[in-house]
A and B are shown apart, each in its own frame.
Chain A
């Protein structure tokens, strides 16, 4: 599909805004689930909290975030009700909110529940601490491992969004062979996968036994450097800092698509 054709198919905003909104909704915000598992402040915030919030883009996707029993779950389902429902009139408007700018969405359902909303906002700030981690924080190996884990998960969750909405990824997707691609930090660090079966991409938030192709990072530092775009991956392969075994073209083409995340989420 050409750039013009994808624009026509998605009249609610330009391609860039549409891609960014989908990445935020379906690759970044779902990371709140992990945040509630290991971040101490997040754990405190969600303790005893029973709250749900729905983000809806007019004519576009919807995302339900439910906080209950100390857990955070996200879903694209449209059927379940939410305590608060926020309608954004465009992709650009929801992106402004994600960027921290002041926007006023339409509360189309429920009450504001200001206390819960405030706690929810704090959770998103904590999420940013991991996804835009500073060098000082990364010196802590426990924190660094969580950053890598979340970044890998953002990457694999971003792929289905990119191949659906980004015209370059749509074109490149045809070159990606079918199978399961695994990304893993050695020796026993985080692992995550993306499968392509019958043309459909699905993230798998963990490792699998026999991936079609495995990309293995020597350690957390290598993973951090590659994922943050600070390391030449081709050189790292030759140096043994990254090892790819199996169907290399799958990893190669997927990496090109994953690289597009940086183009949208700077």
Chain B
């Protein structure tokens, strides 16, 4: 048991509850961690480490839920931001950076013939669905059960505030199940505009599932036959599998891709890219937001992509992720425990193989976190280019002790 205490976090949370509905709403709510054993508020971060408001230090395996890909406060990215800050950010017009950034995306992402920028993943997932509808003049959308595409009414995993009609055009299929997919398009022949999905399945509270060997080629063929557009929601995985988009890693070509999280190393930005065929439809779907043209984030994105290319960041991230995944498997075996370690090395996740209720995982993650390795119990983790071997090894040593606590409590 460590000396980590969370008094200031709890104090702030109490105050937050007075002024903010739910105190910490959304994915950062302590409700989906282990309340009482996790920090609630952060103070600062550097590289692959962060400190909470009580001064506790953590090796960061969540990276802000994905945005931090080069490490917190990356000098080159932050320098680019400082330079742009000196010039301003929100103008009456887009800055030159808008053009540079779009060009950079098109040059970086093989399927992209155009790019457009917003602020959050939901902005671009919803908009690309509209573009597909405009292009096909159809209403239907297919998404995977357990998939997450943002907080808008057509796809939010929540229930509050929805109407019956919000989901009438949304059809659910099971990931990796081609027969299910075929059945849905047969049942709704000529009505489906788009299939939107992540490039591989990364639901919360579950193992991550990679596509079956023939999955993407079959989906592409079926969609081409039926005139359905493929939208890859690469918000979570984007830039962590391949700088050209996760479709390059899996070897298929979608019609549009949505990015956010990692593309600007923590600065708020999202992007959609698409093929030439989608460009005219894209130009017809109204697209704007108060801050969507601001320049600072674009400067961060340009610096992030340049740095990732120059340092071959993904290769390093994979190396560190593999070290973590293999270390966890070995330590679990040494402790007489069964785990499933899933997902690509850059976005790993682990849970205990012999339980469905996550109680072992909740204890494990609480122990690891209280001892300095921030491990989320129910959401996949993220590795950054700032993680070094010593950080991974230090985290594994903490995990070894956490495994021992689980073994003592549960026996197997």
The chain A residue sitting closest to B17, CB to CB, is A235
Interface readout for A1-33 with B: 1 if CB under 8 Å, 0 if not?
Answer: 011000000000000000000000000000000
Q: A247: which B residues are within 8 A, CB to CB? A: 205, 356-358
Return the CB mask of A181-220 against B: 1 if under 8 Å, else 0.
0000000000000000000000000000000110000000
Does A256 interact with chain B (Cβ within 8 Å)? yes
| Residues from 17 to 48 in B contacting A, C-beta threshold 8 Å | 17, 21-25, 29-32, 35-36, 40
If A237-B30, A246-B358 touch, whether A3 touches B164 (CB-CB below 8 Å) is yes
**B159 in contact with A232 (CB, 8 Å):** no
A227 within 8 A of B: no
Flag if A234 contacts B205 (CB, 8 Å).
no
A238 touches B357 (CB 8 A): no
Q: Say yes or no: B29 contacts A238, CB within 8 Å.
A: yes
Verify if A82 is at the interface (C-beta below 8 Å from B). no
The answer to whether B164 and A167 have CB atoms under 8 Å apart is yes
Q: Say yes or no: is A245 at the interface (Cβ < 8 Å to chain B).
A: yes
Chain B at the A interface: mostly helix, strand, loop or mixed?
Answer: loop
A249 within 8 A of B: yes
**Bitwise interface map of A from 247 to 258 toward B, beta carbon under 8 Å scored 1, else 0:** 111000100100
> Whole-angstrom distance between the alpha carbons of A249 and B357 in the complex?
10
From B22, B36, B357, contact of A240 by CB (8 A): B36
**Bound-state Cα–Cα, A130 to B230, Å:** 56
Chain A min CB distance to B82 (Å): 35
Q: Across the interface, do B31 and A234 meet the contact criterion of CB distance under 8 Å?
A: yes
Choose among A175, A212, A248 the residue that contacts B31 (Cβ–Cβ < 8 A).
A248
Query: Which of B29, B35, B158 gathers most chain A CB within 10 Å?
Result: B35
Of all chain B residues, the one with the shortest Cβ separation from A178 is: B356
In the bound complex, what is the Cα–Cα distance between A194 and B260 (angstroms)?
40
Complex formed: what's the CA distance from A243 to B362 in Å?
A: 12
Q: Mark B156-184, 1 if CB is under 8 A from A, else 0.
A: 01111010100110000000000000000
Q: Verify A248–B205 contact, CB threshold 8 A.
A: yes
Q: How far does the alpha carbon of A58 sit from the alpha carbon of B164 in the complex, in Å? A: 28
Is the C-beta of A244 less than 8 angstroms from some C-beta in chain B?
A: yes
Contact (A239, B359) CB under 8 Å given A247-B205, A248-B31: no
B31 touching A244 by the CB < 8 A rule? yes
Residues of A contacting B31 with CB < 8 Å?
A: 234, 237-238, 244, 248
> Contact: A234 with B29, CB < 8 Å?
yes
Contact A238 B159 (CB under 8 A): no
Question: Does A249 lie within 8 Å of B13, measured CB to CB?
Answer: no
User: In the complex, what residue of chain B is closest to A231 when comparing beta carbons?
Assistant: B17
Find out whether the CB atom of B359 lies under 8 angstroms from the CB atom of A232. no
User: Does B323 touch A at the CB level, under 8 Å?
Assistant: no
Given contacts A232-B22, A243-B35, A256-B160, contact A238 B13 (CB under 8 A): yes
Closest to A244 in B: B31
Interface status of B10 (Cβ within 8 A of chain A): yes
Q: In the complex, what residue of chain A is closest to B363 when comparing beta carbons? A: A245
Q: Given B14, B36, B356, which contacts A212 in the complex, CB threshold below 8 Å?
A: B356
Give CA–CA (A244, B354) in the complex, Å: 20
Is residue B378 within 8 Å, beta carbon to beta carbon, of the partner chain?
yes
Q: How many chain A residues have a CB neighbour from B under 8 Å?
A: 26
Distance in angstroms between the alpha carbons of A172 and B166 in the assembled complex: 13
Is A238 touching B358 in the complex (CB atoms < 8 A)?
Answer: no
Interface presence of A179 (CB below 8 A): yes
Known: A232-B21, A248-B205. A239 touches B358 (CB 8 A): no
Determine the chain B residues whose CB is within 8 A of the CB of A212 once the complex forms: 356-357
Judging by beta carbons under 8 Å apart, are B362 and A238 in contact?
no
Do residues A238 and B30 form an inter-chain contact, with CB atoms below 8 A? Answer: yes
Partner pick for A238 among B21, B40, B157, B205, CB 8 A cutoff: B40
Cα distance A249–B158 when bound, in Å?
A: 11
Q: A213-B357, A248-B378 are in contact. Are A238 and B35 (CB under 8 A)?
A: yes
Across the interface, which residues of A come within 8 angstroms of B157, CB to CB?
Answer: 175
A249–B30 Cα distance when bound, in Å, is 14
Chain A, residue nearest B18 (CB): A235
Does B35 lie within 8 Å of A237, measured CB to CB? yes
A168 at the interface (CB under 8 A from B): yes
Chain B CB count within 10 A is highest, among A213, A235, A239, A249, for A235
| Bound-state Cα–Cα, A234 to B157, Å | 16
Q: Which residues of A contact B162 (CB under 8 A)?
A: 168
Asked if B359 and A246 make an inter-chain contact with CB atoms under 8 angstroms apart, the answer reads: yes
Name the one of B10, B17, B30 contacting A232, with C-beta atoms under 8 angstroms: B17
Q: Are B32 and A248 in contact (CB under 8 A)?
A: yes
- Which residues of A are found within 8 Å of B40, using beta-carbon distances? 238
Among B10, B164, B378, the residue within 8 A (CB) of A239 is B10
If A234-B23, A234-B31, A248-B378 touch, whether A239 touches B17 (CB-CB below 8 Å) is yes
Of the residues A179, A234, A243, contact of B357 by C-beta under 8 Å? A179
A240-B35 contact in complex given A232-B22, A248-B205, C-beta closer than 8 Å: yes
Q: How far is the CA of A237 from the CA of B32 in the complex (A)?
A: 9
**Structural contact, B22 and A249, CB atoms closer than 8 A:** no
A135 to B167, CA, bound (A): 41
Question: In whole angstroms, what is the CA distance A172 to B161 when docked?
Answer: 13
Given contacts A2-B168, A238-B35, A249-B204, list 20 more A-B pairs with CB under 8 A.
A167-B164, A168-B162, A168-B164, A171-B164, A212-B357, A232-B23, A234-B29, A234-B31, A235-B16, A235-B23, A237-B30, A238-B24, A238-B29, A239-B10, A239-B23, A245-B362, A246-B358, A248-B205, A248-B358, A249-B205
* 26 A-B pairs in the complex with CB atoms less than 8 angstroms apart: A3-B164, A167-B164, A168-B159, A171-B167, A172-B159, A175-B157, A213-B357, A234-B21, A234-B23, A234-B25, A234-B31, A235-B16, A235-B22, A237-B30, A237-B31, A238-B29, A239-B10, A239-B17, A243-B35, A244-B31, A245-B359, A246-B357, A246-B359, A247-B358, A248-B358, A249-B204
Residues of B within 8 A of A (CB): 10, 13-14, 16-17, 21-25, 29-32, 35-36, 40, 157-160, 162, 164, 167-168, 204-205, 356-359, 362, 378
